[in-house]
Structure 1
Amino acid sequence: MSKYRQVQVGFWQDGFVLDLTPEEKYFYIYLMTNSKASQIGIYELPKRIIETETGYNRETVEKLLKRFIEYKKIQYNDSTKEIMIMNWVRHNWNNSPKVVARVEQELDSVKHIPFALLYLEIANSIKEDTVSIQYPCSMHSLGKQEIRDKDKEKDKEKDKDNENEPENVADAPVIPFEEIINHLNQKGNTSYRHTTKKTQSLILARLKDGFTTEDFKKVIDVKTEEWLHDKQMNKFLRPETLFGTKFESYLNQKPKGGPPNGTNQKRGRESGPSEWDDIRI
């Protein structure tokens, strides 16, 4: 279905618009009527799209965006690529329930939350008797609901984090993710990150099996000595191979050209709880 955006004929006699250059007038109209424009005046508009639709180069686009931000007519968030046309709500509402529903839907999809909250603040500042605008009450309720929903989400995340943490955080063991991966990167000339969830889960699983940080280093030393200069095998110098189900056999492997890694290298849960049992990734 086709979408339409209305521009009042009084736009051209507006004091602000009269002082704009032809280029600025064109750009201002574009911001209100482009293919991404929305009911609430907050929408995702990548600079690449602006270039394509206006024919301007990136330098001109950046210049015009900055200029209208300085004019306090728009805000732009680079991380989400969203734009907000200020005061859009003051000039683009009627009392249709369909519009209210559309507003709620679009506000829910806004990624940069400060834009949504600013929209509600502006909407709530409109007098209730403003002609053809009956949203201040509805928007006020919507604002409260959004805040409640976001608070609930935060509480859920907080509860989830609390479930995954030991009761006494001060006494929680420090998991040597960084120490182990740094050793692998140094020995294997690799650049793995210790923050990757998959890598962390593998390391934690072996720690829960009863292996130690030194065991990880021994496995890394043995396998890098064996595989580092082997074109077919050096690709396996990675956490998912080294710290997987063959970890114990690697640990007990005899180093190339040297004595075994000590005697009785077998590790495992003897009995009783482990300090790692309560840790979750």
Structure 2
Amino acid sequence: MVRTDFWKNPIALEEMTPEDKYFYLYLLTNSNTTQIGIYRMTKKQMAFDLGYSIETVQSLMERFIEHHKLIRYNPITRELAIKNWGKDNLQKGGKPVMDCMKTELKDVEDTSLISYVAEAITKEEIRSLYESFCKHDVEKEISHQADDDTYPDNESDEVDDPFIPGDKVLRQQPSVENNLEIEDQTQDVKEIVEFWDHNGFGLSNMNGKQQLLSWLENSSFLQPKEVILKAMAIACANNKRKLNYVVGILKNWENESLLTAREIDSYHENQKSVPKNKHSTESFPAGRAIPDEVNLDLSAGEDW
């Protein structure tokens, strides 16, 4: 829901670019929005809906998290929270509304996002409902100990990533390591991390895990989890349990526009079925061949 005074908001008037306004309206009105102001959404889906590249979406996300301070995003659970949702949309209660919110709050994995949205709720009854779902465990308090602490958009240690300042990554890294162990990981993340840990890629290599997990959201694959697991299995079969080897396989598949596990299997099957060039086994006589129509008389020109 978008209030008519959206266009009179000082932030929208003075700080937001036209692209910012378009993006914020999308966050408020897309088909994934909920009654509680917290919903799941991948950057790939945002890019598809808006007609933007993933890089553009990531840049806008950083702007809204760090500059405007209007949203938070958990890249592990892929949950997005809108700070002022409660102030703008949760003015009326009632049993049907409360029951709907209660059902949706139960589905939130990162409960720190519930606390984040609750701060702007003015109606006491609704704020109390939100607070009843908040779990203040140590890890989440560390992650959000200040108002400007936010989840990083891409949890990778690669300091040459143009969208992630190196100092920000170092500051957030303890939270990243903890997040890999908590129970609110998505199933896709769990399966990839378990495969990595159980097949010799390096149990303590947190940086490698995070770089590989970034392919779940920032690749063009339609089945990213299945494709990543297939690449890791190939690396194991070739005894090449290294991140660079797995990433090399993934890049090759992307370059070939192989976006699903089925397409990859079909491609490799076709490669196997292509006959190799065979050397001809036909024997040729040494020297120059004599045409069949020529009759050779060996006694010609000799007198006996």
Provide TM-score, normalisation by structure 2: 0.42
Q: TM-score scaled by structure 1? A: 0.45
